[in-house]
Amino acid sequence: MNLQAIDNKGQIIEWDEKILKGKKTVLYFYPKDNTSGCTKEACDFRDNMNRLLVYADVVGVSPDNITSHQKFQQKQNLNFTLVADVNHELAEKYGVWKEKSLYGRKYMGIERSTFIINAQGEIEKEWRKVKVTGHVEEIISALSE
């Protein structure tokens, strides 16, 4: 896959799936930078990063471009990697690129989802149709089992 990411230091890096191998990773998919639910979710990850890093790295993925991610990361002081999946390759691979409906209009978009990926790159646990409130606590609980 030819994806770009912005790391926790604000540097643009080429996404390589090998990033997921060799360590446990929380891979979470969200619809759009700088929207209310996505901002709350990202800030919950940010605010709990010390608790999360004991168990796993955190990587956020949305179809926004790298410029949008940089602005979002800077505005919210995010301390984890964001992947720009503009062609939704990663979202399709994980089955989270879905038909959605808003006010009767159908469109394709991200189904808010989270995956715990083990050190071998395999899915260990997943959450689909995530509700933002309390989700990071669920993840920490699952990681600490």
Which active-site residues does the annotation give?
A: 38
φ and ψ of 127, to 5 deg: -130, 130
Q: Looking at the chain, how many residues does it have?
A: 145
Q: Are strands 3-6 and 12-15 parallel, antiparallel or unpaired?
A: antiparallel
Q: How far apart are CA 121 and CA 104, in angstroms?
A: 38
Contact assessment for residue 23 and residue 119, using Cβ atoms and an 8 Å cutoff: yes
